Amino acid sequence: MNFRDIFKSSFLENVTEFSAVDTLIGLAFALVLGLFIFFIYKKTFKGVMYSSGFAMSLIGLSLVTTLVIMAVTSNVVLSLGMVGALSIVRFRAAIKEPMEIVFLFWALAVGIVIGAGMIPLAVIGSVIIGVILIIFSHKKFTKSPYILIVNCSDDKSEEEALKLLSQKAGRYSIKSKTVNSEGIELTAEIKIKDESTTFVNEINKITGVSGATLVSFNGDYLS
């Protein structure tokens, strides 16, 4: 095979079907929608630690997926080869928050839809999804639970603390009880009726109670 055969090959004939204008338009929309997804993720994030790397990957994922789908839709043979190539890829990134899966699939969906040429669908769908996520991220459907830790010196102070807790808290359940030579330590999950925490001061004033600590709890971490 010489250079003349290379230039006559079907490979270069397929390259002539490539449209630079369509590619630039598709990548431009993918970039804009990727930035939109990035903004929504940052706006609705409620996890423990914000990851700027993950947020930036949403933009890159939209762009890369768009580029891949554009190549796949232009050539059936290439699409079969792409499926085989991607089947050997293994991802090991840890997902820390359930909502991160939503944003990953959102970025992938945007890339697929734009790569397929359905730009209006990608724009309208992304706007609707973004608005819904922002609305529901600011809604509180249940009261936030709290963890109350009370240190008592004897059974009498424990009973008085639990009696006061049943009056002030909407609902509580004992999670742990530790008894040692220094006294009793109670850990209870509670839901406050009116979001007032003054009852903690009243519990601390009970004779025999050496300390009372109240911390917020979301099921994953304490803060």
The confidence score (pLDDT) of residue 196 equals 73
Q: Are residues 102 and 164 in the same domain?
A: no
Residue where a domain stops, chosen among 105, 137, 169: 137
Q: Residue 50 and residue 83: Cα distance in Å, rounded?
A: 33
Residue where a domain stops, chosen among 102, 137, 172: 137
3-state secondary structure string across the chain? CCHHHHHCCHHHHHHCCCCHHHHHHHHHHHHHHHHHHHHHHHHHCCCCCCCHHHHHHHHHHHHHHHHHHHHHHHCHHHHHHHHHHHCCCCCCCCCCCHHHHHHHHHHHHHHHHHHCCCHHHHHHHHHHHHHHHHHHHCCCCCCCCEEEEEEECCHHHHHHHHHHHHHHEEEEEEEEEEEECCEEEEEEEEEECCCCCHHHHHHHCCCCEEEEEEEEECCCCEC
Q: Are residues 203 and 181 in the same domain?
A: yes
Residue where a domain stops, chosen among 120, 137, 154: 137
Whether pLDDT at 33 is above 60: yes
Q: How many domains does the chain have?
A: 2
Domain assignment present for 163: yes
Domain assignment present for 118: yes
* 33 contacts: CB under 8 Å, gap ≥ 6: 62, 110, 114, 122, 123, 126
Tokens 């040692």 correspond to 180
Q: Are residues 154 and 77 in the same domain?
A: no
Q: Are residues 36 and 97 in the same domain?
A: yes
The confidence score (pLDDT) of residue 109 equals 92
Domain assignment present for 221: no
Whether pLDDT at 38 is above 80: yes
Q: Are residues 116 and 51 in the same domain?
A: yes
Q: What is the CATH number of the domain that holds 204?
A: 3.30.70.260
Domain assignment present for 69: yes
Q: Are residues 40 and 103 in the same domain?
A: yes
Q: Which of 25-29, 83-87, 99-103, 152-156 has the highest mean pLDDT?
A: 25-29
Q: Are residues 167 and 193 in the same domain?
A: yes
Domain that residue 48 falls in? 3-137
Q: Does this model's pTM top 0.75?
A: no
Q: Are residues 39 and 112 in the same domain?
A: yes
Averaged confidence pLDDT in the chain: 78
Q: Are residues 193 and 163 in the same domain?
A: yes
